[in-house]
Structures are given as C-alpha cells and as structure tokens.
C-alpha cells in the first residue's frame, strides 16, 4: 500500500468516527476482522500465547493486545499509547432552548478547541444514548446524525468591524449555542429534542434515559497542496496516531513476531485524563497486570516485565507555519513530511529522556526513515500528553513522539501524507524489535 492509500484509510477511519465512542467502535471492527477476541473486565480471562484480544472500558477507551511467545518477564510489554478524544463542543443536557423565534442547541466546551474555527461549518452531532430495554436492562446505542443539522453563523463584519484586527472572540455561554431551527409557540424544546432522538434511534421516548453527544464537522477529509502532499480532516489530534498504532499492530509479520504488544487508546486526554477510563486511571495498569496474572507471573516477575517494557506515547506535534515565525523556537522548528517528531521538555511535560530518545532514533534508523526533535519556546507554556502520567504510574521507560501538524485543535487540522507512512513504519519496527 502506498503513502496516499494509507492516508485515505486514515481519512475513512476519521469520517467513520465522529465521536470518541464511534472511534472505539470503528477500531473494534478492524480488530474483529483481524481475529481479535473481545474480553470483558467483569469476567475471568484465559489467555493463550499468540492470542489476540481487546478490552473496552465505558465505550470510548480501548486496549488491544497480543500475548507473545517470548518470556514476558524478560521481554516486557511493547506499548503504543494515544488518545481517542478531540477538543470541541458537547451538547448540554437540556439540549434545545428558544431564543426569540429560533431554537438553539446549548453546548459546553470540551477541552481547548480553537472556537472561532467552529463558525460557518456544516456541523452535526453524534454520540451515545443510554436507555432501558424491554427486559429492564440499561443498554447503550451509538447515534450519528449524518445530515448537517447545526451551525454557528459568524457575525457579519458590519456588526463586528474590528474582527480582522482583534480576532474573533466568542463568549462561551452566550455566543456559542448552535442554530437548529425556527421555533413555533406550541413547541416544547425538550420534546423536540426527544422526538429527534426517537426518530434516529428507534427507541421509545419513555425508554431513553440519558446521552452524551459530540458536535462534529460533516465535511469529509481531503488531500490538498501541490501533488496532494498534505491532508486535512477534523480530529487528526489524535485519531491520526490511533490509526497509525492500529495499522502497525494489524500487520501479520508484527502480530507473529512473538512479542507482547499493546495498543492503549484513552478517552479524556483533552480534559486531563483523570477518569475511570482516562490515561491517569487504572485501565492500563489493570490490563497489564491481568495479562501477567493469566501467564502465572509472580509479583516480582510482573515488576521485571514492567522494567523491561517500553512505551511510545504518540500525539501530534506543532509543524512550523511560516506566517507566524515568532511562535516557534527558532532552533527547533519541525516540518510536515520530514518524519516523526521527538518531543523534549526539561520540565517533564513530555516523558522523553536521553535513553528513550536514543532507542527511538535506533528504530527510525532501522526503519530507514527521518526524524526531528522539537522543543517549545521557553517563554510559552508547553502542552503535555499521556506519556508523563502513564510512565509515572507504571515505571515504564517512555518516549513522547508524534507527527507534525498545522492548526492543532482547529476543527479542520492539516498534516503531511508521507509522515503517516513514516510513523507506521517506525511503530512496526518497534513492535517487531
Ligand atoms: Zn493530542
């Protein structure tokens, strides 16, 4: 498969995944097609050497793993970590409300999106609905509204004369509600919303109990630039890394290399990771421990396995944008299509250190791909990833890496076509090593 075909698969993956719950369902399909078995954390696990498994926690975090033939205590776990969520807008519990003659959808800001990029886009919403079935059980169903139902129209420049000088500023409470429809006097907004759900989910109104919805952009991903060297879509941060990790894992040579391989993709990274299914929670430690228990390792051998493990914490990086040179550290510019970016921060906002960086460079060299090193400007606060918290919890040597991209946290982000293939190649090298 060439670089462009790999990116087309990524764009199809993102377009099938308008929310973190959908992203996990999309990955689940790919895993099942590759003969992975779904495990429940509620049941006891009988794992076989060479077996392929995955676990989902609360619909939006997933850990897929392969039990290797090699001795776990000595060989350790080879882990790729990333996140399934992206910053944006989430629908409020009482979704619709009247404003004069118009029905608007109330939204809450999730994480740190660039809010101005949500204006004038063909928006809709997708997520999950929890309901009581005929037998009285609580069930969950994924729901996606395909058509563009929502919009945040900009204010005309005639009422916002300074917009090009001051930038577009939106009050999060009063200026973000999305326009849904005209309203009539007889309508009750909650009822209108419930009817919308009933029509889409085919569940009776009285059975629907609760839901979570993400606002998404209905425009599909696309290639752009000379020779289609770049691509664009929503949620590249961080579904591009999830897709690269999963593609690397689902290679037959990788799967049969005899190593214990783990892909851990978490929800809630954009809001701090502190939740039952977040990277700062117990999900990864629980799964690693249960893999060890199923292989009858004692506590010392489990600790040895952790000490012999390595994690690639993969999240997107900031590509140099020449229109804004002052935003970048002049000696550490990184570019799209120039290879994976190794992220370094002395204050441990990234988990990379000398040895883990050296090991990653070794895999890049073995895969015959370029790499770049990034440091943030010293006078601007640096972002972080799931790397520091997972390595602190488990004591696993970790490197923070990711592909360079433009417009991180915009609803329409961009990256380089070659980089996606480079990342998959170095991940496969790491998994096979
Ligand atoms: Zn990210």
Ligand 1 mean position, distance from CA 305 (Å): 28
Ligand 1 mean position, distance from CA 315 (Å): 5
Evaluate if residue 95 carries a pLDDT over 90: yes
Evaluate if residue 273 carries a pLDDT over 90: yes
The CATH 3.40.630.10 domain(s) of the chain lie at: 3-86+234-432
Evaluate if residue 185 carries a pLDDT over 90: no
Ligand 1 mean position, distance from CA 39 (Å): 27
Ligand 1 mean position, distance from CA 97 (Å): 32
Ligand 1 mean position, distance from CA 245 (Å): 14
d(CA 87, CA 214): 10
Ligand 1 mean position, distance from CA 131 (Å): 31
Ligand 1 mean position, distance from CA 111 (Å): 11
Ligand 1 mean position, distance from CA 407 (Å): 12
Confidence at 419, pLDDT banded by 50, 70, 90: very high
Alpha-carbon distances, residue 108 vs 96, 105, 213, 215 (angstroms): 13, 10, 10, 10
Mean pLDDT of 180-184: 92
Q: How many CB atoms are located within 10 Å of the residue 222 CB? A: 13
The pLDDT, as a whole number, for residue 382 is 87
Evaluate if residue 187 carries a pLDDT over 90: no
CA angle 81, 84, 87 (to 5 degrees): 125
Evaluate if residue 433 carries a pLDDT over 90: no
Ligand 1 mean position, distance from CA 87 (Å): 9
Ligand 1 mean position, distance from CA 343 (Å): 13
Alpha-carbon distances, residue 190 vs 96, 106, 205, 339 (angstroms): 6, 12, 11, 50
- Please tell me whether the peptide bond between 278 and the residue prior to it is cis, using omega within 30 degrees of 0: no
The yes or no reply on domain 3-86+234-432 and CATH 3.40.630.10 is yes
Segment 21-54, tens digit of pLDDT: 999 999 999 999 999 999 999 999 999 999 999 9
Mean pLDDT of 56-81: 98
Report which of 339, 348, 357 is spatially closest to residue 415, judged by C-alpha positions.
339
Ligand 1 mean position, distance from CA 204 (Å): 37
Segment 344-387, tens digit of pLDDT: 999 999 999 999 999 999 999 999 999 999 999 999 988 889 99
Evaluate if residue 271 carries a pLDDT over 90: yes
Q: Is the pTM of this model over 0.85?
A: yes
Burial of 408 (0-12, 13-18, 19+ CB in 10 A): buried
Residues 6+ away with beta carbon under 8 Å from 78: 259, 260, 261, 262, 309, 310, 430, 431, 433
d(CA 32, CA 322): 43
Ligand 1 mean position, distance from CA 319 (Å): 14
Ligand 1 mean position, distance from CA 81 (Å): 11
The pLDDT, as a whole number, for residue 219 is 98
d(CA 154, CA 151): 9
Segment 137-164, tens digit of pLDDT: 999 999 999 999 999 999 999 999 999 9
CATH code for the structural domain at 88-217: 2.30.250.10
Helices and strands (DSSP H and E) totals, the chain: 12, 20
Average pLDDT, the chain: 97
Confidence at 186, pLDDT banded by 50, 70, 90: confident
The 8-class DSSP code of residue 414 comes to E
d(CA 178, CA 107): 8
d(CA 75, CA 72): 5
Do 225 and 7 touch, CB atoms closer than 8 A? no
The 8-class DSSP code of residue 19 comes to S
Mean pLDDT of 296-324: 98
Kind and range of the H or E run holding 196: helix 189-201
Evaluate if residue 308 carries a pLDDT over 90: yes
Ligand 1 mean position, distance from CA 282 (Å): 20
Ligand 1 mean position, distance from CA 238 (Å): 5
Ligand 1 mean position, distance from CA 383 (Å): 9
The pLDDT, as a whole number, for residue 259 is 98
Ligand 1 mean position, distance from CA 264 (Å): 14
Q: Name the more confident of 183 and 260.
A: 260
The CATH 2.30.250.10 domain(s) of the chain lie at: 88-217
Ligand 1 mean position, distance from CA 83 (Å): 7
Burial of 230 (0-12, 13-18, 19+ CB in 10 A): buried
């Amino acid at each position: 498969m060439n670089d462009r075909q790999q990116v087309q698969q990524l764009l199809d993956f993102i377009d099938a995944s308008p929310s973190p719950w959908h992203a996990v369902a999309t990955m689940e399909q790919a895993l099942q097609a590759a003969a992975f078995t779904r495990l429940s954390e509620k049941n006891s696990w009988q794992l076989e050497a060479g077996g392929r498994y995955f676990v989902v926690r609360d619909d939006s975090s997933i850990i897929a793993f392969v039990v290797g033939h090699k001795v776990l205590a000595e060989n350790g776990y080879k882990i790729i970590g990333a996140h399934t969520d992206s910053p944006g807008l989430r629908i409020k519990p009482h979704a619709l409300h009247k404003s004069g003659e118009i029905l608007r959808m109330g939204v809450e800001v999730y994480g740190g999106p660039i809010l101005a990029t949500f204006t004038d886009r063909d928006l809709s919403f997708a997520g999950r609905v929890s309901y009581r079935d005929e037998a009285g059980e609580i069930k969950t169903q994924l729901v996606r509204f395909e058509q563009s139902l929502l919009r945040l129209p900009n204010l005309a420049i005639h009422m916002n004369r300074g917009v090009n000088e001051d930038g577009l500023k939106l009050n999060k409470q009063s200026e973000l509600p999305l326009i849904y429809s005209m309203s009539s006097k007889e309508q009750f907004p909650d009822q209108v919303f419930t009817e919308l759900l009933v029509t889409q989910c085919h569940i009776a109104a009285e059975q629907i109990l609760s839901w979570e919805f993400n606002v998404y952009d209905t425009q599909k991903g696309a290639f752009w630039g000379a020779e289609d060297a770049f691509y664009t879509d929503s949620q590249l941060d961080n579904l591009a890394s999830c897709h690269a990790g999963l593609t690397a894992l689902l290679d037959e040579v990788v799967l049969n290399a005899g190593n214990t391989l783990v892909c851990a993709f978490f929800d809630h990274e954009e809001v701090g990771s502190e939740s039952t299914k977040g990277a700062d929670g117990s999900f990864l430690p629980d799964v690693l421990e249960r893999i060890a228990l199923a292989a009858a390792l004692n506590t010392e051998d489990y600790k040895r396995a952790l000490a012999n493990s390595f994690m690639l914490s993969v999240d997107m990086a900031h590509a140099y944008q020449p229109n804004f040179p002052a935003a970048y550290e002049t000696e550490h510019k990184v570019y799209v299509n120039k290879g994976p970016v190794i992220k370094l921060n002395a204050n441990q906002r990234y988990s990379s250190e000398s040895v883990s960086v050296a090991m990653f460079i070794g895999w890049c060299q073995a895969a015959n791909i370029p790499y770049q090193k990034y440091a943030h400007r010293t006078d601007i606060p640096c972002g972080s990833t799931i790397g520091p918290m997972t390595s602190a919890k488990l004591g696993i040597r970790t490197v923070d890496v990711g592909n360079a991209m433009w417009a991180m946290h915009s609803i329409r982000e961009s990256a380089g076509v070659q980089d996606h293939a480079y990342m998959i190649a170095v991940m496969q090298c790491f998994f096979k090593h």
